[in-house]
Structure 1
Amino acid sequence: MSKQSPKTVVGNQEWCAFPELGIPAVKARVDSGAKTSSLHAFNVRRFRRGKQAWISFDVHPVQKNRTVVVKCEQPLLDMRVVKSSSGVPETRYVIRTAMRMGDQQWEVDLTLANRDSMGFRMLLGRQAMHGRVVVDPSLENALGDHNSAALNSMYQHAAAERQGLRIAVLASNPEDYNNRRLLEAGRARGHDMVFLNISQCHMRLDALEPEVLFRGSPLAEDLDAVIPRVRAQVTYYGAALVRQFESMGILSINSAVAIAQSQDRLLVMQSMLKHGIPIPTSGFAHSPADAEALIDMVGGTPVLIKPVAMRSGGSAAKADDLPTAKQLITTARQIDENLLVQEYMAAASGRSIRSLVVNQKPVATLAYQAETRADQIEVGTVVGTAKLTAAERTLVAKATKALSLSVARVDLIRTEEGTLLLGVVAAPDFEPFERQGRKRVAESVIAAIEKKLRWRAGE
């Protein structure tokens, strides 16, 4: 009877090597609670070599360093559905390759996933450790460590020419002030910025090879992030493009779901109430026959009447009497337009506050005076900067978090009963905040992407 080899003791993190992939060292989080092992990969492409399916991919093997890139190719072993760290199932490519830990080497299966936003470029699961190692969670680097000098020596041949991120602004007009500022701000911070016109993009829907094409040519797959600035009129297609980028593992500063939700005023108001955020009393009904009851419900005239869909355009209409309100509602329903009826905040004297919020933090706030033109309530002019109270700062953070928006404008109104939320906009206009408020909003958006991707200049 042969004697069984003793198992190697490893800590909660260890250095691994993959000779076939040209990766001499990558630090792995050792996690016996995870079944499958995962290696960081981006620019993943499937191709054929003879009759065999292969995968090409790039790896950032060094933690918190995007300047070192190793280009890899390996036969495709399988496609597997794996739960991500957020608990969402996703389909991943699987390869099999030799892994070396300490003085041992054996074959392991690895799923490929973009782990740039995670602490470790690799996760070592129990399937790869079974029968070979035991984990002592009190230890770290039990099989040896590599310092910065050693890593620099190992990867001196793999330093990437591009130091910054590659970020696309997904919008409709390259000459728009906001889009130009985002491109300028990104380039000033050392990033490779590109403009993608929504109307000139199309997509390939494929579980194995999802793709976005621009002017008929496949986009380079080394995009790190997109900044969607989707006009209300193209919400459906713009959100679909963002979903496609997300399926390719590319970060969108505002998700497709968040963009679509924010374009529905009724859904926004319902979300606010669900999260305990105060709004003006509002009403919504399908039939014009319910118009009078609806107006009574919000306290009677005068009322504000707003299109539910942001893409419908137009300003809020003020109806000073019941006949006018009923006529507006009836006319809208005849063209299948949905309207939100809202109490008119007379005590606020037409003053409102708009706050530009990035990552749940207000970066600039302006006060506005509304104007009435032919019964249409328009935002009017900026009357100065404004300072949010502590309670209002909490309110705007809760509002953007409720809609999962990283970049947004939150509109507020101060009343005798307290501050109420009027609306949330997913693609806000930076210009008044930068010109009147003298704030560099575009730089804050780029910085938010850097934070999400854990990117730092020089790393």
Structure 2
Amino acid sequence: MNIVILSRNPNLFSTERLVNEGEKRGHDMEVIDPLKCDLIIEKEKPTIYYKDRYLDYVDAIIPRIGASSTFFGCAVVRQFEMMNVFTSVTSDAIIRSRDKLRSFQRLSKAGIGMPKTVFTNYSRDVEKVIAHVGGTPVIIKLLEGTQGLGVVLAETKNAAESVLEAFNGLQARALVQEYVSEAKGADIRALVVDGQVVGAIKRQGKKGEFRSNLHRGGTAEVIKLNEAELKVAMKASRVLKLPVCGVDMLQSARGPLLLEVNSTPGLEGIETGTGKNIAKSIITYIERNRNS
């Protein structure tokens, strides 16, 4: 197959791993920057032009689109879909997962546990908002934040008020979420491929850091998910229609609580932590499903 990885940087660990595993399995792998594609929209003949050629030979794509490239990146994925090219993750699913509020609403309706969350339209009644999630400390998250950016722990009412006022002043919409103290700065990342969990790690934030992101100095260890955690990860994948995704959860006294579903999960931390070949799983998923 001719498989294209939509990525702005061919040297990223995840992109390189996918290229290597695809080539090992006999596929022609190519990395294309989605922001350099021209979308040609014509009656019954949608096409994509990239550099010096038309991309009319592509069998499947793997979107690796960053948050800052969501709008045009998803337009490129959608164009490939119109050309009947198989994609590991659809454009609609990426857009759905990038909207934290929308995805939380869908996941909540599906009965998936998550930290109590409040969203208001630039409310200045901070005391009421904090009371809705059980009091301070609280987590405040920008709707557009990724990789731990735009996530703040406010330990007091005054701190929460200051952060929310700052976000409001920037017209940045934010969620206020309860702080789950028993998680102790750790979370679980489960990697789902074709609706099944293929690997999981427990990420622990460095001392004094409530965010567990590995690139912020966190550490990771392999973990075996219990039945409830497996169910949450797989159900979240189904609800958001993301056959390939990373599902982040907290371990709490009331069971696993979903934090986020990532449509473009990094592979380095989870492959290194588990020793599992996740990139190969993604390539074989495409092989199984392209013609189904």
TM-score (ref. length: structure 1): 0.61
Task: Tell me the amino acid that sits aligned with residue 281 of structure 1.
Answer: K
CA distance in 2, matches of 1:322, 1:176: 41
Q: Output the CA distance in 2 between the equivalents of 1:454 and 1:167.
A: 14
2:5 alignment partner AA: V
Give the 5 Å matches for 1:271-286: 271-286=106-121
The one of 139, 144, 155 equivalent to 1:309 is 144
The CA deviation string for residues 132-180 of structure 1, in whole angstroms up to 9 with x for no partner, is xxxxxxxxxxxxxxxxxxxxxxxxxxxxxxxxx1110011101111111
Partner of 1:422: 259
Q: CA deviation at 1:424?
A: 0.7
**Corresponding residue number in structure 2 for 1:12:** none
- Is 1:323 aligned to residue 158 of structure 2? yes
Q: Which residue of 2 aligns with 1:201?
A: 37
User: Does residue 406 of the first structure (1) align with residue 263 of the second (2)?
Assistant: no
Give the structure 2 partner of residue 384 of structure 1: 221
| 1:387 alignment partner, SS class | coil
Query: Which string of whole-angstrom CA distances, capped at 9 and with x for unpartnered residues, describes residues 74-98 of structure 1?
Result: xxxxxxxxxxxxxxxxxxxxxxxxx
Quote how far apart the aligned CAs of 1:223 are. Answer: 1.1
**Are 1:316 and 1:376, in contact at CA under 8 Å, matched by a contact in 2?**
no
Give the paired residue count.
289
C-alpha distance after superposition, 1:280-327 (max 9, x if no partner): 000010123132211110001000011111369715210010111011
8 A contact 2:212–2:218 mirrored in 1: no
The answer on 1:343 being equivalent to 2:181 is no
Task: For residue 278 of structure 1, report the CA deviation from its aligned partner.
Answer: 0.4
Pairing 1:215-226 to 2, within 5 Å after superposition: 215-219=51-55, 221-226=56-61
2:4 is aligned to 168
Partner of 1:263 in structure 2? 98
- Retained in 2: the 8 A contact 1:233–1:311? no
Aligned pairs for 1:31-430 (under 5 A) are: 165-219=1-55, 221-310=56-145, 314-371=149-206, 377-379=211-213, 380-430=217-267
| Structure 2: gaps (5+ residues) | none
Q: Aligned partner of 2:187: which letter?
A: S
Residue aligned with 1:333, SS: helix
**Aligned-pair Cα RMSD in Å:** 1.7
Structure 1: give runs of 5+ residues left out of the alignment: 1-164
Q: Structure 2: how far apart are the matches of 1:275 and 1:406?
A: 17
Shift of 1:344: 0.3
* Whole-angstrom distance in 2 between the partners of 1:311 and 1:364: 21
Specify whether residues 177 and 383 from structure 1 end up closer, same or farther in structure 2 by C-alpha distance, changes over 3 A only. closer
Contact map agreement 2:145 2:151 (CA 8 A) in 1: no
| Distance across 1 between alignment mates of 2:260 and 2:125 | 24
Moved beyond 3 Å, runs of 4+: 310-313, 375-378
Q: State the AA in 1 paired with 2:276.
A: K
Aligned-partner residue type, residue 134 of structure 2: G
Larger Rg belongs to: 1
Q: Work out whether residues 245 and 262 of structure 2, in 8 Å CA contact, stay in contact via their aligned partners in 1.
A: yes
More helix by share: 2
Amino acid of the residue matched to residue 206 of structure 1?
A: E
In structure 2, distance between residues paired with 1:216 and 1:304: 48
User: Equivalents in 1 of 2:140, 2:3: separation in Å?
Assistant: 39
- Percent sequence identity is 33
Measured in 1, the distance between the counterparts of 2:203 and 2:179 equals: 16
SS at 2:104's partner residue? helix
Q: CA deviation at 1:207?
A: 2.4
CA distance in 1, matches of 2:284, 2:102: 29
CA distance in 2: counterparts of 1:360 and 1:252, whole angstroms: 15
Q: Matched residues in 2 for 1:248 and 1:295: separation?
A: 48
SS of structure 2 residue aligned to 1:421: strand
Q: Is the 8 A contact 2:220 2:273 kept in 1?
A: no
* Contact 1:307–1:313 (CA under 8 A) maintained in structure 2: no
The alignment partner of 1:289 has SS state of coil
Structure 1 residues 354 and 246, CA gap change in structure 2 (3 angstroms): same
Superposed displacement of residue 328, structure 1: 0.6
Q: Is the 8 A contact 1:277 1:421 kept in 2?
A: yes
- The Cα offsets for residues 235-292 of structure 1, whole Å up to 9 and x where unpaired, read as 0110010000000110111000001111111112111101110000000101231322
TM-score between both structures, scaled by the size of structure 2:
0.94
